Chains A and B, each alone.
Chain A
Amino acid sequence: MTYLQAISDGLRVEMRRDERVFVIGEDVGVYGGAFKVTLGFQEEFGPWRVLDSPLAETAILGACTGAAIMGMRPVAEMQFADFISCGWDHLVTVAAKQRFRAGTPVPIVVRLPSGGGFSGGPFHSQNPESSFAHIPGLKCVCPATPEDAKGLLISSIEDPNPVLFFEHKHLYRRIKGEVSEERYTVPLGKARTHREGDEISVITWGAMVYTADEAAKELEKQDVSVEIVDLRTVMPWDREAVLASVRKCSKVLVLHEDTRTGGFGAEIAATIAEEAFEDLDAPVKRIAAPDCPVPFAPVLEKAYIPQVEDVVAGLSELAAY
């Protein structure tokens, strides 16, 4: 099943199992969502569990919070992750802080088709997970495989907190994998070793897992063994798994598609410097998009998003250090 089908399957499984779960978003009903994740859902679950909303992100997210406090388990779809900026205030001001301030948990999931690679331009390509990982009270999930996408989505719906579920659009139909038809969960906050290695560790998530994988295959030809740690969840993130891999390999590359300055990779690099300095045989290396909006023209976008050759170059530098 594709990555997209796995997300759809996870959502359907939960909606069949738990009548508190409902979906709200722009064009999610008859149209099935801009990417067709909820295609056929309205026929199965009816118009009051698959709600086409007005074009109003704050209303969508605020309504999710209210319904969640009243005992529902809402799953909102932002048509593109970029549009979450219109609902930033609600998520950060109300949803993220309500449990801490007022003791009221807000179990909502916000699905966010994110990421670039197909000339979506500045407003249909962003990866805003770092902005939200910075906000205490929110969780950020970034699956890379179909199996994880389904299991992490179900865990996110079960979770008693606001969870931002970043679905990489470039993986939707490109990545396929074995996915159980059964209901299963993948725990939030646990990384996955995508590839075993013992010389250089790559810490990454989302679509960059595959970029790293191709680069690792190149390095293998040069007899350099690369390990890839797929974080799967950016907040909470699996510090132990990252530090264990760093200690094993002694060299580390932090890779993400979001921009560099203040990106979540900076937090990971700082933690490695604090906790594993003595275990390092080279400075921590970061590869990320440059500090620039996502450009439209394919040649510019290619220069923006980290490419396999960029990662190969970075890994080779580390190998030679």
Chain B
Amino acid sequence: MVRGSLELRRRSTRDGGTHAAMAVREAEPVGSLNEVKEAGLDREDLLAIYRHLLVTRGIEERGHILYKQGKIPGSFYTGRGNEGAAVGVATAMGPDDVGTPLHRDMGVHVTRGVEPWRIFAQYMGREDGPTRGRDGNVHMADARLGMIAMVSHLPAMLPVAVGCALAFRIRHERRVAVGWYGEGAAARGDAHEAMNLAGVRQLPVVFVCDNNQWSYSTPTHLAYPVEHLADRAAAYGFDGVVVDGTDVLAVYREAKMAIEKARDGGGPTLLELQTLRMEGHAVHDDAFYVPKELFEEWAKRDPVERFRTWLRENAELRDDEEDEIASRVKKILNDALARADESPLPDPATLLEGVYATSEDLDTPHHK
């Protein structure tokens, strides 16, 4: 059961008695290894998930250090607390599926196979970052890995994800688009327009709401007036599911079901993944407005630690395996940092490159 301010909201909503309770499904927590196997993951997959969680957290922790060293211009954003939500969804995506991950979703880039050194190069505004210094932090994507770079104007990428799904539907391809947004951006019209169009046309798209309870300093009760954001799915003619976003396997299971349903022509699903943003909005923000008890409560549900414990209890994760994975991740990060540091600064003489596309640019994996 999710606790904290989300629980407070639930109580206050019920006590108020003015809001009709909607019948969204609240996903069960994940159980045994057998259940997980049924959901399509073998032990190797589980260890890969664990590695992706560690790399994701490691990239952001190293990024924080780089920022303090003055090596990252601008600001710096992390998704601490959201690693399980991001890795879980990305693990459920097929190789030809596409998505529009956001600034709390580093785990999606890592799971889809973006090399960590390119992410550090991106942070530092170097030539080898996916945007070649044209944009910063997590505003990046490798199109070859099926991702589309986010913009700051959330949830502006949801209509884009719907458009990807529309292309798949027009061409009768068994592919799915995943669009991410947050509980703050849920207030903006783009979310409504995107979900409405997706519902009308029953397009193969899954909407993932990273509900981390704080939209910068704004709590959920000032952001939306319903019990669950997933309640809204009913208004667009598809299913909504509330999932504990700190349970990577529950996220995987629900995302897998939603993605395969979409692939089979069953239309969209809205997954609301509940977490707590464990740091400020960005590096400059100490999140003084979040009650300390809430941080303490959610720290006990840390997605990485939670999954590690699950692996030890359910999948016989041994000390030597754990050490081996940890040292492998450390080496990946060390090598990545060193390689990124060698990446040149972008050449100001190339500033105007790419303002307009040329026909050669259309030679991408998607533009055949």
Interface on A for B, CB 8 Å cutoff? Answer: 22, 48-49, 51, 53-54, 56, 58-59, 61-72, 74, 89-90, 93-94, 97-107, 136-137, 139, 158, 160-161
Contact of B164 among A69, A107, A160 (CB under 8 A): A69
How many Å lie between the Cα of A318 and that of B252 in the bound state? 73
Q: Is B20 an interface residue (CB 8 A)?
A: no
Interface on B for A, CB 8 Å cutoff? Answer: 98, 130-132, 134-135, 139-141, 143, 148-149, 151-153, 156-170, 177, 189-190, 193-194, 196-197, 200-201, 354-359, 361-362, 364, 366-368
For residue B130, which residues in chain A have a CB less than 8 angstroms away from its CB? 102-103
Q: How far is the CB of B167 from chain A (nearest CB, A)?
A: 4
A22-B170, A102-B131, A160-B362 are contacts. A66–B159 as well, Cβ < 8 Å?
Answer: yes
A53-B197, A102-B141 are contacts. A89–B159 as well, Cβ < 8 Å?
Answer: no
Q: Check B149–A101 contact: CB distance below 8 A.
A: yes
How many Å lie between the Cα of A291 and that of B189 in the bound state? 30
For residue A106, which residues in chain B have a CB less than 8 angstroms away from its CB? 357
For residue B143, which residues in chain A have a CB less than 8 angstroms away from its CB? 69, 102-104
For residue A53, which residues in chain B have a CB less than 8 angstroms away from its CB? 197
For residue A70, which residues in chain B have a CB less than 8 angstroms away from its CB? 98, 163-164, 167-168, 366
Q: Check B196–A99 contact: CB distance below 8 A.
A: no
Q: Check B355–A59 contact: CB distance below 8 A.
A: no
A100-B355, A103-B143, A160-B359 are contacts. A67–B156 as well, Cβ < 8 Å?
Answer: no
For residue B362, which residues in chain A have a CB less than 8 angstroms away from its CB? 105, 107, 160
Residue of A nearest to B146 (CB): A70
Q: Check A99–B165 contact: CB distance below 8 A.
A: no
If A62-B156, A104-B148 are given as contacts, then 4 extra A-B residue pairs at C-beta distance below 8 Å, sorted by A number, are: A66-B167, A67-B170, A139-B356, A160-B362
Q: Check A66–B364 contact: CB distance below 8 A.
A: no
A59-B162, A103-B361 are contacts. A90–B354 as well, Cβ < 8 Å?
Answer: no
Contact of A61 among B159, B201, B359, B368 (CB under 8 A): B159
Residue of B nearest to A137 (CB): B355
How many Å lie between the Cα of A167 and that of B190 in the bound state? 27
Q: Check A93–B166 contact: CB distance below 8 A.
A: no
For residue A71, which residues in chain B have a CB less than 8 angstroms away from its CB? 167, 366-368
Q: Check B196–A56 contact: CB distance below 8 A.
A: yes
Q: Check B160–A66 contact: CB distance below 8 A.
A: yes
A89-B156, A101-B135, A104-B149 are contacts. A58–B190 as well, Cβ < 8 Å?
Answer: yes
Q: Check B170–A59 contact: CB distance below 8 A.
A: no
A99-B357, A101-B131, A161-B357 are contacts. A64–B151 as well, Cβ < 8 Å?
Answer: no
Candidate in B140, B152, B163, B196 with the most chain A CB atoms within 10 angstroms: B163
Residue of B nearest to A108 (CB): B163
Residue of A nearest to B196 (CB): A54
30 inter-chain pairs at a CB distance below 8 angstroms, sorted by A residue, are A53-B197, A56-B196, A59-B159, A59-B162, A59-B194, A62-B160, A62-B162, A63-B160, A64-B163, A65-B159, A66-B160, A66-B177, A67-B164, A69-B366, A70-B98, A70-B167, A70-B168, A70-B366, A93-B151, A93-B153, A94-B153, A97-B151, A101-B149, A102-B131, A104-B148, A106-B357, A107-B357, A107-B362, A160-B359, A160-B362
Q: Check A56–B355 contact: CB distance below 8 A.
A: no
How many Å lie between the Cα of A171 and that of B285 in the bound state? 56
How many Å lie between the Cα of A253 and that of B180 in the bound state? 51
Q: Check B162–A63 contact: CB distance below 8 A.
A: yes
Q: Check A100–B354 contact: CB distance below 8 A.
A: yes
Contact of B159 among A22, A63, A98, A107 (CB under 8 A): A63
Q: Check B357–A102 contact: CB distance below 8 A.
A: no
